[in-house]
Amino acid sequence: MKKLSLTFAIIFAMMGIVRADEGMWLPMFVERLNYVDMQKMGLQLTPEELYSINNSSLKDAIVGLSNGSKPRGFFCTGEIVSDNSLLFTNHHCGYSSIAALSTVEHDYLNEGFAARSFSEELPAEGVSASFLVRMEDVTAEIFSVIEPDMDYMARQKAISAKIKELEEAASEDGKLNPVIKGFFEGNEYYMFVYKTYTDVRLVFTAAQSIGKFGGDTDNWMWPRHTGDFSVFRVYADENGEPAEFSENNKPLTPKHHLPVSLDGVQPDDFTMIWGFPGSTERYMSSYGINYNVDVFYPIVYEVFKAETDVMDEYMKVDKAVNIAYADNKAGLANTWKNFEGQITMLRKNKVAERKVELEKQFSEWVNASEGRQDEYGELLSTLESSFAAQAEAAPTLFYPNFTAQLNPMAMASEFSAYYEVMNDKEATKEDKQVITESLKEINVDAMFSNLDARVEKGMLIEVMKIYGSKFETEALPEALQKMIKKYKGDWAALASDLFDKSMFSNAETMKAFIEKPNAKKLAKDPAFVVYNALVEQLYSVAPVYRMATIAISEADHEFVKGLREFYAETQPEKVLYPDANSTLRMSYGSVKDYSPADAITYDYVCTANGILEKYIPGDFEFDAPQRLLDLIEARDFGQYADENGELITCFLSTNDITGGNSGSPIMNGKGELIGLAFDGNWEAMSGDVNFEPKLQRTINVDIRYVLFVIDKVYGATNLIDELEIHKAMPEPIRVEEE
């Protein structure tokens, strides 16, 4: 273990008592901050077995999943479970790859897929798997470039340059991927050095009627019966080094893999989760919460919900559309339901009110010292006015922005540069030739390959109806005023005609324009006209919104700095830990039920019986494969049944997680895999802003259900044979002799 920096040593002294369930902890500090507490709760591993940079440790089995070879963040987590780098993650984490590999003839989304040998495994193009090599505190190096008289933008520029310098120095000529992130709103900086593998292959997926059982209806809900898992494998070259996909690559031999336990869980069992949580905002002010709840989240919810409703209409009846839009719809639906939950629970759990009380205490502490008044006295008023400025600008920024992203406006936007050059009086003939030739580089077929005209037109109509309801006609850009007056205020009719008449609504007319481009014709295209009007509208408030964002960032930096001093002086026992930022974290807790409301208590596990209870034949969300139903009816669970003969599908724990933790391993005190984290619960949707110890639970798919599906439903015993499976022997029955 490296010696703690002075900065963190001071913070450690400030932290006092550590709570068991709340917190997403940096692994390099586990021995100093968490180990004794974890031992008392049931951890049986040593600190060196958890995190080591010199020897194999648990951290070496945790994988960050991202898109591209230079990860700056991770969309999900995975874990290595065999000596051949078999990787478990959530079904929804693999969903994009599964959809991309699916066709009407090979519909892996709806039928599932199981490779029986290495040669049958399918490349998951664009997905990379990153292993943490080490992390280190670089706060002192970063702060060395900051001068006292620098303003915010100058500081950020200097910090960015220093980060780039340090990352390049640690990359070992591109062999490693160092990433430096700010913590506590830029009051500390740490470098995470990764080795990234880009040859990742799909090995197994259940049908989405298992992997997404319950669909959007059950999302964030308990009880849960979703088999949210998929299986991949990491490949390397003959030397075990990262390499692009090649038939000659071999499965990577990992430094560590997780054994699997079939012992199941009991109430109060110790649990720990390792993974890459994406983002929390536990230090957000009341002003930020109110802005999100009252302004930003409702805008996103309204637009995204409208889009997914249209997608659903056609996905339910057309197999090809279902495959084409599956990934896009899943992302949008996940976002709008998340925001719906946050709006509801931030209000219900009175999070803003609790923040107001904290801000009052902070203000009293600030006002008790002239020096603190000089440093922190204006922070809260700055946050209040800046969020107010954002709130005023947000509708004029976001409604046009979301509308402009729809087709055919999105397609028309590809020709903006061409139009500008062709109408630039100072542009030379050569300039115009170059920009005209560049149009031929647009891959029209690729842009339209997964689009359905019915879906695109339907989304355009619904979103333009929303857009039109938000603004008085006189407040619109002149071009839009003329268009909507022509249609007598009927935004649906305008959108329908726009789609039908624009040359950017289908591939053939767009190709024809590229063959014979004409700036005057482009200027008259209705989609191009609307796109430019929308951009004009959002640009009218973009500078104000941007300046408010900068002011908020600067104030947040100082506010968190002040809060840490405030807690150190007034509440030294208060737990302080950095917000999630897509870096490796550990959380620990226990298996536990919860009571969301009066006279209601939810059990800590649910069983496969619930699948039969929820099953609706042919339903988009609650259908299930006949093989699964037959096995449940026959109670043919094999070695995966619990001591009562039941098949546990999911269980609850008190671990602190957020988005990005999806696919994370949940382990027992021995470091054995007992399940995969995949969701939080509805009643604690405010948890990213304020941890709710009585309500907040992690929903985990039980590893026994995972193996049951692989083994009994799909017969992929080759994968079961790869695993290191542990199961405690029952205690012998002893009869004392008389």
Just list the catalytic residues: 92, 228, 662
Which neighbouring-strand residues pair with 274?
586
Q: Provide the sign of the torsion angle of the four alpha carbons 118, 121, 127, 132, taken in this order.
A: negative
Classify 336 in phi/psi space as left (phi over 0), alpha (psi -120 to 50) or beta.
alpha
Rg for the chain (alpha carbons), in Å? 27
The pair of structure tokens assigned to 704 is: 């026994």
Helices and strands: H and E segment counts in the chain:
31, 22
The DSSP letter of residue 439 is G
The type of residue at 735 is V
d(CA 707, CA 721) in angstroms, rounded, equals 11
163-195: b or e for each residue (b if 16 or more CB lie within 10 Å)?
beebbeebeeeeebbbbbbbbbbbbbbbbbbbb
d(CA 576, CA 556) in angstroms, rounded, equals 16
Contacts of 542 (CB under 8 A, 6+ apart): 397
CA nearest to 714, candidates 89, 209, 259, 102: 209
Contacts of 50 (CB under 8 A, 6+ apart): 27, 30, 57, 58, 59, 586, 671
Q: Could you tell me if 209 and 585 are in contact, meaning their C-beta atoms sit under 8 angstroms apart? A: no
531-561: b or e for each residue (b if 16 or more CB lie within 10 Å)?
bbbbbebbeebeeebeebeebbebbbbbbbb
Q: Provide the sign of the torsion angle of the four alpha carbons 331, 503, 455, 469, taken in this order.
A: positive
Q: Could you tell me if 32 and 44 are in contact, meaning their C-beta atoms sit under 8 angstroms apart? A: no
d(CA 464, CA 403) in angstroms, rounded, equals 7
The DSSP letter of residue 731 is P
